[in-house]
Chains A and B, each alone.
Chain A
Amino acid sequence: MFAGYIYASYVFTFGALVGLIVVSFVGLRAARQRLAALQAGGDSDESGSDGAL
């Protein structure tokens, strides 16, 4: 009789949790990539200036 309320509760709960988990992992991956890109850029800058010297 009240199955709709029960299903809606579980769907909302796990939808929200999965969304949170996905956003957290996407954020972690993006931060890793940005840091790696910055480090790679810094390394190439340094090697470039070394080369110039």
Chain B
Amino acid sequence: MLERLENLSALYANPRRFMRLAARLHMPLWLVALAVLGGGLFMVAGVPDDYQQGATVRIMFVHVPAAWMALFAYSFIFFASVLAMVLRHPLGYLAARAAAPVGAVFTLIALVTGALWGQPMWGTWWVWDARLTSVLVLFFVYLGYIALWEAIDDYGRAARATSILAFVGFVNVPIVKFSVDWWNTLHQPASVSRFGRPALHADFLYPLLVMGLAFLFVFLAVTLTRMQTEVLRQRLRVRQEEA
């Protein structure tokens, strides 16, 4: 029975090595995330007002990193799903499932802070332009992905169905990224990742990059925590099936 249990758990999660590694990484990762976030906020506090936008430029330091993480998290889900479906990596589905709520929260932050930035700068909370609409679609894809995991009881079927949704939804990621180049939008084009020199002054660029790094560490720390939870839930499922 023990051998069968081990085979089952290895089939779904291969948890032991991962849980040992996660236990070691967990606290240092959280400490690094909080330290970088604190450093980023300290840098943001010293940022001067923009000559056009005034103090509202400070919204950029949460809005832009959240938007980066919204795309990064979905790319993470996509590659984890590829790893699971194509290479049969046992942790792929767990990683994708764990990252989805984190990505959804970052997308929601990008949408809400974007509206709060848009109102004073553009005179409107929302406009149906390509960038804003594609990010809203991304948020709905996240919600659909999370709902699909919850809607199907059988783990294997849920994993396959959500992976297919992750593949289909990934089409939207380059649309979000390049929407400001492909269409005329009210949203400004890329300022940091454009070829050549970034359009931002160093006073704004470095705090923005540090906040981006901080949000990345927060994403990794929360996702690792949620992956540990998923592995434990998987063990629970296996034990309950065995009982």
Contact = CB atoms under 8 A, between A and B. Distances in A.
B56 A5 contact: yes
A19 B222 CA distance: 11
Given A6-B55, A6-B56, A17-B105, 20 more contacts: A1-B55, A2-B54, A5-B59, A5-B120, A6-B58, A6-B59, A9-B58, A9-B63, A9-B112, A12-B109, A16-B105, A16-B108, A20-B102, A25-B225, A27-B226, A28-B229, A32-B232, A35-B235, A35-B236, A39-B239
B71 interface: no
A13 B112 CA distance: 9
A42 to B, nearest CB: 7
B130 interface: no
Interface residues of B, number: 32
B225 to A, nearest CB: 5
A28 B224 CA distance: 11
Interface string A15-34: 01101110011011001101
B39 interface: no
Main secondary structure of the interface of B (DSSP, over half): helix
Nearest to A23: B101
Interface of A: 1-3, 5-6, 8-10, 12-13, 16-17, 19-21, 24-25, 27-28, 31-32, 34-35, 38-39, 42
9 contacts: A1-B55, A9-B58, A9-B59, A9-B116, A9-B117, A17-B218, A24-B222, A28-B232, A38-B236
A18 B232 CA distance: 23
Nearest to B59: A9
Contacts of A38: 236, 239-240
Contacts of B236: 31, 34-35, 38
Interface string B185-202: 000000000000000000
Contacts of B108: 16
